[in-house]
Structure 1
Amino acid sequence: MSQRTIDCATPLKVGDTTYRYYSLDAAAKALGDLSQLPLSLRVLLENLLRHQDGVSVQYDDLKAIADWQELRRSSREIQFRPARVLMQDFTGVPALVDLAAMRDAVAKTGADAELINPLSAVDLVIDHSVMVDRFANSAAFGDNVALEVERNKERYAFLRWGQKAFQNFRVVPPGTGICHQVNLEYLAKVAWTEEKGDDTLVYPDTLVGTDSHTTMINGLGVLGWGVGGIEAEAAMLGQPVSMLLPEVVGFKLVGHMPEGCTATDLVLTVTQMLRAKGVVGKFVEFFGEGLAHLPLADRATIANMSPEFGATCGFFPVDEETIKYLELSGRSEQQIKLVEAYAKAQGLWRDDEQPLAFSDVLELDLATVKPVMAGPKRPQDKVALPDIKATMELEISQAIDPSRKVPVEGMKHQLTHGDLVIAAITSCTNTSNPSVMMAAGLLAKNAIEAGLNVKPWVKTSLAPGSKVVTDYLDKAGLTSYLEQLGFHLVGYGCTTCIGNSGPLPDAIAKAVDEGDLTVSAVLSGNRNFEGRIHPQVKGNWLASPPLVVAYALAGTTSIDITSESLGEGSEGPVYLKDIWPSNAAIAEQVAKVDHAMFRKQYADVFSGDEHWQKLPVNESRTYDWQKESTYIQHPPFFEAFGEPVLIEPIKDARVLALFGDSITTDHISPAGAIKPSAPAGEYLQQQGIKPEDFNSYGSRRGNHQVMMRGTFANIRIRNQLLPGSEGGVTRHFPSDEKVSIYEAAMRYQQENTPLIVLAGKEYGTGSSRDWAAKGTRLLGVKAVIAESFERIHRSNLVGMGVLPLQFTHHENVEVLQLTGEEHFNLPDLGADLKVGQSLTVEAIRPDGKVKSFQVQCRIDTENELHYFRSGGILQYVLEQLLKQ
């Protein structure tokens, strides 16, 4: 390969400061015309130009991007180095636990423990731990914060230790906001700067994050996406993110949004279109004159949902709207000037006159968008508003007694199928968007004035993504109207959307269980997979914030909200059209948002409140592990570090579980409430923890003992080894006993029996959860054989030393007539394993007959193969650091 390098460093003067940047125009003299290259790929090209070293980045990598314009796709693997890493606390705590364990491993070799330090800037925002315990009263916020800190003292003290012990590691304390909204409003720079020698370099702000919705920042022209926690740890420690050059699907927007439609309606429409198109593993880049009419917050709302439409990211180039938002959110004058000057000089400024080469193109006329929701089980299942009733009734028809009604203790109401029990304005998707938040407040005002109120069986909550939301709702005079309907502030963070919805009121919970009722939740979130929102709620709908309020007024999803009355007002029936605010009324309130709000709320963002400041801090370089802790435990991943890792044939493996299509990481990874009867609940009780103090799986992600017991334990997961059953149960072979998946895995480990998992299409869709891969490994699973994999989860499996294998020749479990009762062999798996290799699988049926078939090894890059040969990505990083 050529070791040629391209010298394209160029000065850029902005105000009184001279910067240097790696000019794509200058690089084009060596690489050829780059004018049709999508802007998202230009960011990747700049990244490679800046890191040319002849080893990890070679001239041929640069040429591959330039040549992409002709073929509009590439099989080239590149090494991407993001400027920074973003974490939330659920994924951040286990990452920090691993870093602490790596420090111990380094110390045991006699080397300096401080070899383990983030080399890239890392921001961790504590936003995933607040739960909606208290609601619908003015004390809810204070009470929930106090409960959050009390429950999570060990975790938060651990994070404070990490903030002290590690360099380049900042923590945004609880009660501040959702990491993606904090990133959009404060952390992101769009143009990143770095002192290098005598020069100040400027280059595109890029990042990876441990939450799949990291993609929200692409709405600001910042290229970033979600990775597993283990990949993020490697990036923190200086390892590049290995990736194939992606296809880039252009999404052209034209026209204007119509009256009565919201950004949520737009994003659910885009999600459905792109999911139907098939964009897994691809970049989506938005262009067209419609962008001129799309506010930054709407762009961020769309970009946020990239995981739901399956893309790596949904990128919006920098333009005038970006600059307006930077001004609004209180960025410095010099930073704003730098962003505009750099984007224009580097060819990263949106230019609709310049045609770009895309792998494929979709088009949407914004004028055709209609009010919609998504559900009742998946975010890509768009349903027009008039059809919600029929869709819900179809769901209800599957109940044992579809007409069942159960009296609610203390209420003059009989709870029935379709009734709404949770209405939550929550999540990063929409609470970053002033237009939909103001719309919710205005609808609440109009409802109060019409004499309506929320039905008493509905649990209401308001969890904004940042404190700025509270400021502008207050300034608009809308907070009091939301509160009159029970939408009191419950916390600043991810709540209902991640299952932190808190318990239903006792009387409601009792009625739901007694009638086995299919009740509903409506939330302004981005996730509604089965069992995620609340274990007792089967119908979950994603909607705009004003629709959340409207359905709370109706009290049911068994209603055509476009034509049926929401309820009796002071002057008769009130319909949605009577109280829906006009676009002009919404715009009038949005105009009241100003930069002073942002500057006030972010002036002291890292200090935290008195709860945070009172937490004890250990000053040592290595962590003082507490054996009795049920939150933070030393993980087992480095116990065998230093011993050779053998890649050898798998013999006589058993199937731990057999799954169908669309098994998500929400099904695999422990999340939500911990049931006392579950293996994790039993473990905690054995440690002396009472069920009321269990907290959530997410809060205990720093304890592998809890997490491995909760892997594959989702209450809605369906293991086809036990047809008709739900929950984390399986058959143990050869005993044929029905046991929990955890118990079966432990038995198999005692019997030295390797395990595999069989699955259908889209295995591992959902959030970028490291524990979906970590738990799989700790249960003893050697390989997962599926029809197709979600990008992040496939990569995470490799990173944890679990082999992802894909059926070939349109084969699957059904075609091959596999039952899961077979023994499985992989005889040709060995030390000579190659990227994408075809492997033979032998399935030995109970009658002794052998069915052989081919699978493709989904280790996709040479870097991934290095990780697998080391036993995992973290082990590989540790080996490399010690070699240095």
Structure 2
Amino acid sequence: MGKIPDTLTTLEVGNQQYHYYSLPKAADALGNIDRLPKTLKILLENQLRFGDDESVDQEDIQALVDWQKEGKSSREIGYRPARVLMQDFTGVPGVVDLASMRAAVEKLGEDPARINPLSPVDLVIDHSVMVDKFGNAAAFQENVDIEMQRNRERYEFLRWGQQAFDNFSVVPPGTGICHQVNLEYLGRAVWTKEQDGQTFAYPDTLVGTDSHTTMINGLGVLGWGVGGIEAEAAMLGQPVSMLIPEVVGFKLNGKLREGITATDLVLTVTEMLRKKGVVGKFVEFYGDGLKDLPLADRATIANMAPEYGATCGFFPVDDETLNYMRLTGREDDQIALVEAYSKAQGLWREPGDEPVFTDSLSLDMDEVEASLAGPKRPQDRVALKDMAAAFDKFMQEDTSADTTAKGKLSSEGGQTAVGVERSFKHDTSQAVKLNDKDFSLDPGAVVIAAITSCTNTSNPSVMMAAGLLARNARQKGLTTKPWVKTSLAPGSKVVTDYLAAANLSDDLNALGFNLVGYGCTTCIGNSGPLPDEIEKAINSGDLAVASVLSGNRNFEGRVHPLVKTNWLASPPLVVAYALAGNVQCNLTTDPLGQDNDGNPVYLKDIWPSQADIATAVEQVNTEMFRKEYGAVFEGDDTWKAINVPESKVYQWPESTYIQHPPFFEGMEREPDAIEDVENARVLALLGDSVTTDHISPAGSIKPDSPAGRYLQEHGVKPVDFNSYGSRRGNHQVMMRGTFANVRIKNEMLDGVVGGETRHVPSGEQMAIYDAAMKYKEEGTPLVVIAGKEYGTGSSRDWAAKGTRLLGVRAVIAESYERIHRSNLIGMGVVPLQFPEGESRETLGLTGDEEISIAGLSDLSPGGSVKIVIKNDDGERTVDAKCRIDTVNELAYYRHGGILHYVLRKMIGAA
């Protein structure tokens, strides 16, 4: 093994001296890196900085340099990000785990104060506001009041964490979405740290407990989403174990045409990259088209990296990065450091840059057309002109697919009228009376139109376009259809400042797009209830209705359980569909309505020009950002008044929101030996593309569900259930909601949709949770069997935690999405992969089998294990691949999970 080169040097910027690890000096010793992708240069700097000949050695560093030879590497490295970002849905269970680790350390006779984040952690409360009230001036304050009432126990706990833990800060509710707060305020592009009287500079890097952490890639900051479990380990000083990734280059040329938005661009990019296949890879954007691509547009594209499947979607630092930092109020000294450091390290984007990539593709932006995506996957782009046809196709396919499905779905009551045959035909329109108005609710009716989520509400051009379209529509006398639930949930307070400065707030309000909150609402299922009359009509007619939202996710059952088709669109198109009222309206040829004189009004008549949008965007100024972020951590009077108990170890109250989890019960200083799985039963037999939304509890809690019954047994009325996301600090609720999604399809049951299974050998149908508890009483271990792309979607730690608590020892699938595979290992559940050509289908599995797994005590990364499948016809043996890919992951698994490993290491027992 060679010696790690000494690359420490200094950089003078203004009157300040910075120490840094020089990439050019590394190149002198190790080989030219001029054409190494900039993302890998950032990883190389990280390895140089943490080189200790143990967790990082010279071979790790050389492997990054040598990556250029083939555009890939099989080398595993330990990567340490500068900081961690959390949102409250994923952050609360993270802080719960930290609190329970302190309790476990105290029980082992050690000082609990040893458990602290070692890297800076920012938690932004943005996922708890729901659209209960909408369409009026009072909606925002009423939703805030309801949010504080619902979540007081959680917020008290987070306030405790803020004072109990070092290196941990909380951005209070009502401030903005974590990704936009990160982009506009927290992100620095170059990070600094004082050490031994010297100032060290290094790239701003992070991991986040939300998959859309990638939005910060637009600022030249390398960051991506990980599971809450992995993020906790990172904040506790553990390296993120990763294989040096393949990097796909995406070359952008030209400019967007008149009338085409950043949303249209990102949906096109998402479609292209999904087709290319970039799961687990870095995507790095390059090309001369970047010089005219605003940073907000870059951030929109970077945000959607999980939708195109990549680990990240990175844009290098250049003049546009500096311009954005100036606009958003960063200090001059910081901006000067970003420029000087990026140029000194070869991280600055130069015209004509052509790095070496694993593979590449390109797009001429002038070819992009107006688009949406749906009805249930973000990569399924549909041209605006083809929307009506796409909905008709869905109707035809869904009719044939669901004719045997049982029951109607309600946002409150689960299944009713069991045995009703579902059909979606044009003669199922329902008469509705709402607010003293009579109308017909038809298939394709837009019942939710939401300007929401981080994806687009970070982007002034599309937000101003929405406001201008609303103004033009209002001038023509157009109004929103009465059955549409409208909402505006910006990513930060700056958005409402600039909409007001451009005199567009009144126009949006007039069409019902009143402010409902600053947070992630409709896109994560916090859309709130539909009016009772609308819900009744949907159920009575078995109507396939629609939502149109400016978010990034539209998976089945995510936005609202009654809304089967969900379409991602730009903010101005959200407004347009609220005016049209139905996705079967072809906005390119059909009128949106009539003007005051009875003349038809078409979308082209009210679509704002690029010149008008540019004029409006000029209203955005630096003082808006300085005003809104001047006291970002303080919160309002209600937040400040929350009582905060002062103690090192949390005193767990009687609460249905926060409970002491059982993960460390009985934990000793040394881990137990891993036992093989013998005669396990199949808890669920699942198909392809099962998402973490299908697995992890999300959205509303139904009264007749196991979680609903638990809450009622503990005195909580259904009206006060709140959402699964808000109760992620209570394992009793979350384990009952695991695999309980209303759209999940367990192939063990014919024609049943929802979180049900068949208990074997009794044959009794029951909720998955109830079956798991019955198996636990019988002492029977469990496995889950699935198809391709298991765990697609957001980084949801409870998709793994709930799986573990239900008694699942192993998941056997055809392939995995990166984050969920990692999270399963982090909770001590082994992910196994069928051999090429084998699947649940080729093996004829029904879920009645007994499954035994041998070789778990002698695993090696990427090795194989023997699975014995036994049924009435005999038994078969399959050699499955162990998807524990790295040595570090194997260590986590052997300790029973990543937190157990970290805890033992922090007290010197590992």
Moved more, 511-520 or 854-863: 511-520
**AA at the equivalent of 2:701:** I
Look up the match of 1:850: 875
Moved more, 790-799 or 413-422: 413-422
Equivalent of residue 725 in structure 2, options 672, 692, 698: 698
| TM-score (norm. length: structure 1) | 0.99
Unaligned runs of 5+ in 1: none
Look up the match of 2:377: 378
Deviations 1:231-267 (A, max 9, x none): 0100111101000000000000001101111000000
Specify the SS of the correspondent of 2:856: coil
In the TM superposition, residue 850 of structure 1 has moved relative to its aligned partner by: 1.1
Look up the match of 2:895: 870
- 1:785-864 equivalence runs, <5 A: 785-827=812-854, 829-847=855-873, 849-864=874-889
Contact 2:217 2:314 in 1 (8 A): yes
Contact 1:821 1:846 in 2 (8 A): no
In the TM superposition, residue 611 of structure 1 has moved relative to its aligned partner by: 1.2
Contact 2:84 2:206 in 1 (8 A): yes
The whole-number CA distance in structure 2 between the counterparts of 1:296 and 1:446 is 27
Look up the match of 2:449: 423
Equivalent of residue 433 in structure 2, options 387, 406, 409: 409
Specify the SS of the correspondent of 1:239: coil
- 1:755-766 equivalence runs, <5 A: 755-766=782-793
**AA at the equivalent of 1:566:** L
Contact 1:279 1:310 in 2 (8 A): yes
The whole-number CA distance in structure 2 between the counterparts of 1:248 and 1:39 is 10
1:782 partnered with 2:809:
yes
Specify the SS of the correspondent of 1:584: helix
Deviations 1:197-238 (A, max 9, x none): 131000000000000000000000000000000001001111
In the TM superposition, residue 851 of structure 1 has moved relative to its aligned partner by: 1.9
In the TM superposition, residue 395 of structure 1 has moved relative to its aligned partner by: 2.0
The whole-number CA distance in structure 2 between the counterparts of 1:104 and 1:559 is 59
Deviations 1:460-511 (A, max 9, x none): 0000000000000000000000000000000000000000000001111111
1:589 partnered with 2:616:
yes
Find runs of 4+ consecutive structure 1 residues off by over 3 angstroms. Answer: none
Specify the SS of the correspondent of 2:589: coil
Look up the match of 1:603: 630
Contact 1:287 1:352 in 2 (8 A): no
**AA at the equivalent of 2:833:** Q
Contact 2:127 2:519 in 1 (8 A): yes
Contact 2:286 2:353 in 1 (8 A): no
**AA at the equivalent of 1:644:** P
- 1:613-692 equivalence runs, <5 A: 613-626=640-653, 628-642=654-668, 644-692=671-719
**Count of matched residue positions in the alignment of Structure 1 and Structure 2:** 880
Look up the match of 1:57: 56
The whole-number CA distance in structure 1 between the counterparts of 2:272 and 2:424 is 36
**AA at the equivalent of 2:884:** I
**AA at the equivalent of 1:79:** G
The whole-number CA distance in structure 1 between the counterparts of 2:750 and 2:389 is 28
Look up the match of 1:715: 742
Deviations 1:182-205 (A, max 9, x none): 000000010100011131000000
1:492 partnered with 2:518:
yes
The whole-number CA distance in structure 1 between the counterparts of 2:354 and 2:686 is 45
In the TM superposition, residue 524 of structure 1 has moved relative to its aligned partner by: 0.2
Contact 2:832 2:881 in 1 (8 A): yes
1:400 partnered with 2:423:
yes
Specify the SS of the correspondent of 2:663: helix
Look up the match of 2:591: 565
**AA at the equivalent of 1:546:** P
Deviations 1:325-384 (A, max 9, x none): 000000001001010010001100002334311000000000100000000001010011
The whole-number CA distance in structure 2 between the counterparts of 1:614 and 1:147 is 16
Specify the SS of the correspondent of 2:608: coil
**AA at the equivalent of 1:228:** G
Look up the match of 1:93: 92
**AA at the equivalent of 2:745:** R
Contact 2:288 2:352 in 1 (8 A): no
**AA at the equivalent of 2:652:** W
Deviations 1:736-786 (A, max 9, x none): 011000000000011111111111111001100000000000000011011
Contact 1:396 1:418 in 2 (8 A): no
- 1:152-551 equivalence runs, <5 A: 152-397=151-396, 398=399, 400-402=423-425, 403-410=427-434, 411-551=437-577
Deviations 1:635-674 (A, max 9, x none): 0000021163222221111110011100000000000000
The whole-number CA distance in structure 1 between the counterparts of 2:360 and 2:750 is 42
The whole-number CA distance in structure 1 between the counterparts of 2:449 and 2:4 is 57
The whole-number CA distance in structure 2 between the counterparts of 1:521 and 1:233 is 35
Moved more, 732-741 or 403-412: 403-412
The whole-number CA distance in structure 2 between the counterparts of 1:499 and 1:351 is 42
Specify the SS of the correspondent of 1:409: strand
In the TM superposition, residue 723 of structure 1 has moved relative to its aligned partner by: 2.1
The whole-number CA distance in structure 1 between the counterparts of 2:856 and 2:393 is 50
The whole-number CA distance in structure 2 between the counterparts of 1:110 and 1:221 is 45
Contact 1:674 1:697 in 2 (8 A): yes
Deviations 1:286-340 (A, max 9, x none): 0000101100000000000000000000000000000000000000010010100
Specify the SS of the correspondent of 1:11: strand
Contact 2:84 2:122 in 1 (8 A): yes
The whole-number CA distance in structure 2 between the counterparts of 1:730 and 1:560 is 42
Specify the SS of the correspondent of 1:285: strand
The whole-number CA distance in structure 2 between the counterparts of 1:788 and 1:831 is 23
Specify the SS of the correspondent of 2:86: strand
**AA at the equivalent of 2:264:** D
Contact 2:287 2:352 in 1 (8 A): no
The whole-number CA distance in structure 1 between the counterparts of 2:872 and 2:698 is 36
The whole-number CA distance in structure 2 between the counterparts of 1:558 and 1:750 is 52
| TM-score (norm. length: structure 2) | 0.96
**AA at the equivalent of 1:585:** D
**AA at the equivalent of 2:423:** I
The whole-number CA distance in structure 2 between the counterparts of 1:489 and 1:830 is 54
The whole-number CA distance in structure 1 between the counterparts of 2:671 and 2:455 is 45
Specify the SS of the correspondent of 1:266: helix
Deviations 1:396-441 (A, max 9, x none): 2325141201111333212121101000000000000000000000
Unaligned runs of 5+ in 2: 400-421
**AA at the equivalent of 2:690:** I
Identity %: 66
**AA at the equivalent of 2:433:** E
**AA at the equivalent of 2:627:** K
The whole-number CA distance in structure 2 between the counterparts of 1:754 and 1:518 is 40
- 1:135-154 equivalence runs, <5 A: 135-154=134-153
Look up the match of 2:418: none
The whole-number CA distance in structure 2 between the counterparts of 1:234 and 1:327 is 34
Contact 1:118 1:237 in 2 (8 A): yes
Look up the match of 2:72: 73
Look up the match of 2:404: none
Specify the SS of the correspondent of 2:907: helix
